Amino acid sequence: MDTHGFCDPRFAAVRDVFARNFAEQGDVGASFAATVEGEFVVDLWAGHADGARTIPWREDTIVNVYSTTKTMTFLCAFLLADRGLLDFHAKVSRYWPEYAENGKQDTEVRHFFSHSAGVPGFDPKLPSATALYDWEACVRNLAAQAPWWTPGSRSGYHALTQGYLIGELVRRIDGRSIGAFFREKVAEPLGADFHIGMAEDVFPRVAEMLPPEPQTNAPFAQADPDSIPARVFASAQAGTDAVNTAAWRRAEIPAAGGHGNARAVVRAQTPLANDGKAFGVELLTAEGARAMREEQTNGPDAVLGMPIRFGLGYAFPNAMMPMSPNEDAMFWGGAGGSTIVVDQSARVCFSYVMNQMQAAIVGDRRGGGLGRAFYKCL
């Protein structure tokens, strides 16, 4: 497999692991990028953009990254908070009065970011993936429902709902949709080729998302249909049959529908690792960038079934998800394998993005292996 791009010689081991992901871990098309002190030290891509392996993965190929998209919504909120327009400790109803229905009157903004708001799924559930394209209907669903637990008392992964919750806050405060706000305030200034909703002229560069092999032991395959995890993932469908359509690409689905490659993810997120500045742009103040590390919850997640310590949006590494050797690093990932790590102490940011999904909810061993190799080279 030919690997393209560049890799600083001291990170040669990262290039080797990247190549082995194709030979040993089933990668079809993928990219990996990393910055240190705000400068790119790795930017690699290889493979194919389609399952038939007829279209090469090019420098400007992008693909759906599922929940790695969430981290872009966090950036948007950090910008508003840094400018004094959003208070993470305020009640949601200050910005979105209709949300205070059915026992949600005490929900705080920060609960949206720590998956502790108690609305991890749509209730009633959505009839099909196409229902996700109707923003107004989705936010009305969330505003009207009762919380599944006392807001703030525990985390439970808001797999698709988190993007609508944060996105509606951005819209109520700024007036722009989350996709437009991200494009104009983050992506364009930083030169990040990342899209939450895209124009049709971008479609030719989008890789086909390839589903994982069916597994009887796949996450939540045997879950009680009345359990919280089963209800969450049954409440809205977001499989590759939807992701690979024009309608999905056009829609703003800010928890799961963003498109980019590793370079794009890293260009957008690198300011967080460098006191709010990168690539000649001061996106945030240093204090605004550090806000992500304010601990919100720490314990078993009601949806993912594993212990997670959440800051504002991102999670801290732990034994089950050792994305960094540094305890105060932050990360998240997407269904099928994509990942993003922001390590403020090391002033490091890196991401892995691919099109061949594996049966995992938040990243997988391909991105994890690249991360371990990267830290060994530092």
Alpha carbon of 57 to those of 51, 207, 353: distances in Å?
A: 11, 8, 12
Annotated active-site residue 155? The verdict is no
Q: What is the dihedral of CA 31, 161, 181, 42, to 10 degrees?
A: -20
Q: How far apart are the first and last CA of the chain?
A: 26
Question: What is the C-alpha separation between 317 and 330, in angstroms, rounded?
Answer: 7
Which residues lie below 8 Å from residue 351, measured CB to CB, with a gap of 6+?
Answer: 32, 33, 34, 68, 262, 265, 266, 269, 338, 339, 340, 341
Alpha carbon of 316 to those of 114, 329, 332: distances in Å?
A: 12, 6, 9
Which residues lie below 8 Å from residue 217, measured CB to CB, with a gap of 6+?
Answer: none
Q: Which of 67, 114, 177, 324 is catalytic?
A: 67
- Nearest CA to 143 out of 102, 90, 86 is that of 102
Bond into 56 cis (ω within 30): no
12 C-beta neighbours (distance < 10 Å), count? 12
Question: What is the C-alpha separation between 279 and 245, in angstroms, rounded?
Answer: 33
Active site residues: 67
